[in-house]
Amino acid sequence: MAHKIFIGMLLSTLTLQAVHHKMNLQKALDSKIVNVNVYSLGGYQGRCMKLELKNLTRDSLIILVEAGRRLNSLDEKYQDILVAKEELITLSKLEQKCFEVKGYCCQASNCAPSKKVKYGINKLADSNLVTLAKYLSANNFEEIVEQQAIWAISDNKTTANIASAEDTILLPLRRLVSGLKGEKLPWYSFVSTTYVYASGMMETFPLWLRGKIKYDIERENYVTMYVKDEKGMPVCQIKCEWKKSGGNQEYQLNIPVKGLPKGKYTIELKSPEKQLALEEFEI
């Protein structure tokens, strides 16, 4: 009797194990065992998308919605959305479940979607966006930081837009993004804002430039900082002050750049006798 009970328990355990299938969403879609509908919740960042996922089988499913999946807008005027947080969804047999997905615009030149705009489930984005999305999924940043990181790759926006009150915390993210783009890490960052027009079109404006420039000064002296355009004309804040002598000093910058047109600029620190430091930045 005990032997039969043991066999019965073993068969029951194997049955339970057999009906719980775990797989990523792409495999479930390829196998045609789930049905998915995707809608915008309105907006272009954060938990802005809704997925309706239906299990078409009589087995339980555990579905991993992958970070890096690119949800494509069926209306071309709206932005595609990159999923930036993995979601693990459990479905009992034939169950349908709705859940929110964290994602970000990856087409900055298109319009932000309004509520209930329908999307296609699509597939994974290109390898750079997938790498970034997995990194964002494994970490926790402000929404504006994650959005700027994605735009830096998807729309070739400047990596300098990846900024927050604590820029040092963002250094690994900025290094990852600049590495994926194959560019030198910017020495500066922009505090910026993104404006969404009534049409849904969007534009990002830099407000402040932050960073540090290093300099040596042989004796205490009166120094002047210039911000100049490509023609060498002063265009922004010009600051004059006394600085003590010393080597390998740092000048902390917090310069208003709102309203400056796109282009290349230089920041120059000079004493009456010579140039102490020169750095370039681009808007």
Predicted pLDDT at 6: 45
pLDDT, mean of residues 205-219: 94
Kind and range of the H or E run holding 136: helix 127-138
Q: Confirm if 76 and 109 have CB atoms less than 8 A apart.
A: no
pLDDT, mean of residues 199-227: 93
Predicted pLDDT at 18: 47
End-to-end CA distance of the chain: give it in Å, rounded: 81
Predicted pLDDT at 19: 58
pLDDT of 218 over the 80 cut: yes
Average pLDDT, the chain: 91
Neighbours of 7 (CB within 10 A): 10
**Coil, helix or strand for 129?**
helix
**Coil, helix or strand for 191?**
strand
Neighbours of 52 (CB within 10 A): 13
Which residue is associated with the tokens 């964290």?
102
pLDDT of 152 over the 80 cut: yes
The residue among 117, 132, 130 whose CA lies nearest residue 69 is: 130
Query: pLDDT (tens digit, 9 = 90+) per residue, 66-98?
Result: 999 999 999 999 999 999 999 999 999 999 999
Q: What percent of the chain has a predicted confidence (pLDDT) above 90?
A: 85
Give the chain's radius of gyration (CA, Å): 26
pLDDT of 5 over the 50 cut: no
Write the CB contacts of 147 (distance below 8 Å, at least 6 apart in sequence).
44, 45, 104, 105, 194
Confidence of residue 137 (pLDDT cuts 50, 70, 90): very high
Distance, CA of 38 to CA of 48 (rounded, Å): 11
Write the CB contacts of 209 (distance below 8 Å, at least 6 apart in sequence).
188, 189, 190, 253, 254, 255, 257, 281
* 84: exposed, middle or buried (Cβ count in 10 Å: 0-12, 13-18, 19+): buried
Query: pLDDT (tens digit, 9 = 90+) per residue, 154-199?
Result: 999 999 999 987 778 999 999 999 999 999 999 999 999 999 898 8
Predicted pLDDT at 3: 52
Predicted pLDDT at 164: 87
Is the pLDDT higher at 110 or at 11? 110
Q: Confirm if 283 and 265 have CB atoms less than 8 A apart.
A: yes
76: its two tokens: 């071309």
CA angle 71, 173, 255 (to 5 degrees): 110
